[in-house]
């Protein structure tokens, strides 16, 4: 039997830009733009500035490495990847895969660090990004809730694999080297839930991507990782899920059995990467559809705040107990609060949307405050958990004071749009960016035509503030 890591390595090494379906190329361009917008926003937060200062204080003066975005300092590849990942997370414009992982916060920083050092073209960059997303998401897919239930954070635990694969691809590692890269990621994968439960701050994808760069470097210099580090009796899945037989503690859809064979089934044909969605609002991903789907329902039927008696939302049960039913830090089906799901549902009714630059959950100030109508209506929203609902796919029912009801069922795919829609919606961040609008428009144009560019790291330079 060929091991899982070996099958993945063979596919990664053989993948070419021309093998990518147009939709995959389009999504790779879109997630790149989304991540860059988040880095630009996150660079202005105090924690983002702290990440830059930590890395530049220790690593500035490096002659051959990678650039810290926005700041422009050259540091090591791992250092740049860490700082850029921290800014991407803090900016709040994340992508999401199955609720609890945000691939772009690690994959894109790792990809840019590798692209800069390798002088990768736009096509090489997009191929590496697509490979990184596909491998990471296939490894994570069915196992995310079970990993979370064991006290690990699935985001960084799986988040190490994507940037390592993207970097390995752009650096032209061999099959054996990619196989060892995956194995070394198993050694270096980490992430825990306990600190944030007791007032701490989680160490997330920034640490994962820094370790990913180490894994790639070690593999490239000949460190052999082994062939069954994923599925072996003492391997990754045994360690992080409790067994290597596909038994699940929790599942998004209630099924407690899967198969490790699914990780490579249809590889290169059925692209899991296309399930990646854009978290346009700076809140937990499961809240975003509550804004837009509710807003669409009210627009379609001309329902105003004054007309509404109450609202019900039937949602996937795991969306009500974050981050895991085993260790819930908040319950969304409990008392209404600003920044909770009921709040965002009420916002959809009252405002028909949510400000893209607003970051309620992340603690950013908003001078205008919350509309009193939102704070009133959120107490008349009921959240109903269900094992049958798709992720990010609430069924919204508005009950009006005249005795009528109006329902809209989300598909869960409302935020899986093409590049042009991404460009249209992400432009709302422009007033909050540290660079001029014209410079951000150049970023959009470069992402759109990235496969025509000789060097992908042109995008890194476009984030740097001009003198």
Spatial CA neighbour of 320 closest among 341, 336, 338, 337: 341
Phi, psi for 86 (deg, rounded to 5): -60, -45
Which pLDDT does position 465 carry in this prediction?
86
Q: Please, is 335 exposed, middle or buried when counting C-beta atoms within 10 Å of its C-beta (0-12, 13-18, 19+)?
A: exposed
Q: Which two tokens stand for residue 441?
A: 């428009």
**Residue 272 · residue 141 · CB < 8 Å:** yes
What per-residue confidence (pLDDT) applies to 439? 98
Same fold? 4-279+438-462, 286-409: no
Neighbour count for residue 210 (Cβ, 10 Å): 27
Backbone conformation region of residue 436, classed left if phi is above 0, alpha if psi is from -120 to 50, else beta: beta
Residues contacting 466, CB < 8 A, separation 6+: 435, 436, 439
196, 145 Cβ separation under 8 angstroms:
no
Answer for the pair 273, 133: CB distance below 8 angstroms, yes or no.
Answer: yes
pLDDT tens column, 284-308: 999 999 999 999 999 999 999 999 9
Work out the number of other CB atoms within 10 angstroms of the CB of residue 452. 10
Q: Which residues of 127-164 are buried (b: 16+ CB within 10 A; e: fewer)?
A: bbbbbbbbbbbbbbbbbbbbbbbbebbbbbbbbbbbbb
Give per-10-residue mean pLDDT for the chain (467 aa).
Answer: 97 98 98 98 96 96 94 97 97 95 98 97 98 98 96 97 98 98 98 91 94 98 96 98 97 91 97 97 94 98 98 96 92 94 97 88 52 96 95 97 98 96 97 97 98 98 90
Q: What pLDDT is recorded for position 313?
A: 98
**How far apart are the C-alpha atoms of 25 and 183, rounded to whole Å?**
28
Q: Who contacts 339 (Cβ-Cβ below 8 Å, separation ≥6)?
A: 283, 360, 361
What pLDDT, on the 0 to 100 scale, is given for residue 360?
52
Domain segments of the chain as ranges? 4-279+438-462, 286-409
Distance CA 386, CA 192 (A): 27
Over the chain, what HEC string results?
CCCHHHHHHHHHHHCCHHHCCHHHHHHHHHHHHHHHHHHHHHCCCHHHHHHHHHHHHHHCCCCCCEECCCCCCEECHHHHHHHHHHHHHHHCCCEEECCCECCHHHHHHHHHHHHHHHCCCHHHHHHHHHHHHHHHHHHHHHHHHHHHHCCECHHHHHHCHHHHHHHHHHCCCCHHHHHHHHHHHHHHCCCECHHHHCCCCCCCHHHHHHHHHHHHHHHHCCCCCCCCCCCCCCCHHHHHHCCCCCECCCCCCCCCECCHHHHCCCCCCCCHHHHCEECCCCCCHHHHHHHHHHHHHHHHCCCCHHHEEEEEEEEEHHHHEECCCCCCCEECCCCCCCCCHHHHHHHHHHHCCCCCCCCCCCCCCCCCCCCHHHHHHHHHEEEEEECCCCCCCCEEEEEECCCCEEEEECCCCCCCCCHHHHHHHHHHHHHHCCCCHHHHHHHHHHHHCHHHCCCCCHHHHHCCCCC
Contact 373, 298 (CB under 8 A): no
CA dihedral 360, 367, 351, 35 (to 10 degrees): -50
Q: Is the peptide bond before 323 cis (omega within 30 degrees of 0)?
A: yes
pLDDT of residue 365: 42
Q: What is the dihedral of CA 70, 64, 178, 100, to 10 degrees?
A: -20
Cβ-based burial of 319 (10 A; exposed 0-12, middle 13-18, buried ≥19): buried
Question: Hey, what are 323's tokens?
Answer: 């981050």
* Spatial contact of 293 and 348, defined as CB atoms under 8 Å apart: yes
What kind of fold does domain 286-409 have according to CATH?
A: 60s Ribosomal Protein L30; Chain: A; (3.30.1330)
> In CATH, what is the architecture of 4-279+438-462?
Orthogonal Bundle (1.10)
pLDDT at 361: 44
**pLDDT for residue 364:** 43
Digit-coded pLDDT (tens) for 230-252: 999 999 999 999 999 999 999 98
Supply the pLDDT for residue 466.
83
């Amino acid at each position: 039997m060929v091991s899982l890591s070996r099958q993945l390595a063979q596919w990664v090494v053989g993948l070419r830009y021309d093998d990518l379906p147009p939709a995959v190329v389009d999504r790779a361009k879109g997630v790149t733009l989304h991540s860059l917008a988040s880095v630009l926003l996150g660079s202005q937060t105090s924690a983002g500035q702290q990440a830059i200062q930590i890395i530049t204080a220790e690593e500035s003066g490096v002659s051959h490495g990678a650039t810290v975005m926005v700041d422009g300092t050259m540091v090591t590849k791992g250092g740049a990847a860490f700082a850029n990942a921290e800014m991407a997370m803090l900016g709040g414009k994340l992508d999401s895969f199955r609720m609890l992982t945000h691939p772009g916060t690690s994959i894109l920083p790792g990809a840019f660090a590798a692209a800069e050092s390798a002088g990768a073209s736009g096509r090489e960059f997009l191929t590496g990004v697509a490979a990184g997303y596909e491998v990471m998401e296939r490894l994570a897919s069915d196992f995310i809730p079970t990993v979370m239930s064991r006290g690990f954070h699935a985001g960084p635990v799986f988040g190490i694999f994507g940037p390592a694969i993207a970097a390995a691809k752009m650096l032209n590692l061999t099959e054996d080297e990619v196989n060892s890269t995956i194995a070394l990621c198993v050694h270096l994968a980490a992430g825990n839930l306990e600190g944030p439960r007791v007032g701490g701050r989680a160490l997330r994808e920034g640490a994962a991507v820094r370790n990913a760069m180490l894994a790639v470097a070690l593999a490239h210099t000949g460190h052999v990782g082994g062939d069954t580090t994923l599925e072996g009796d003492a391997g990754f899945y045994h360690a992080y899920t409790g067994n290597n037989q596909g038994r699940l503690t929790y599942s998004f859809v209630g099924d407690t059995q899967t198969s490790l064979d699914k990780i490579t089934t249809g590889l290169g044909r059925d692209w899991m990467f296309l399930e990646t969605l854009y978290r346009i609002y700076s809140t937990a991903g499961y809240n975003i559809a509550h804004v837009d789907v509710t807003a669409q329902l009210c627009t379609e039927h001309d329902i105003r705040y004054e007309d509404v008696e109450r609202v019900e939302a039937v949602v996937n049960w795991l969306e009500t107990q974050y981050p895991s039913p085993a260790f819930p830090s908040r319950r969304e089906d409990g008392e209404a609060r600003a920044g909770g799901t009921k709040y965002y549902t009420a916002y959809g009714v009252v405002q028909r949307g949510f400000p893209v630059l607003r970051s309620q959950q992340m603690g950013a100030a908003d001078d205008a405050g919350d509309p009193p109508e939102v704070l009133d209506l959120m107490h008349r929203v009921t959240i109903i958990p269900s094992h049958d609902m798709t992720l990010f796919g609430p069924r919204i029912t508005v009950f009006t004071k005249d005795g009528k009801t109006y329902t809209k069922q989300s598909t869960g795919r409302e935020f899986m749009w093409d590049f042009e829609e991404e460009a249209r919606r992400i432009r709302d961040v422009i007033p909050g960016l540290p660079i001029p609008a014209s410079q951000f428009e150049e970023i959009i144009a470069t992402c759109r035509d990235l496969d025509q560019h000789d060097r992908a790291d042109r995008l890194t330079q476009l984030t740097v503030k001009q003198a």
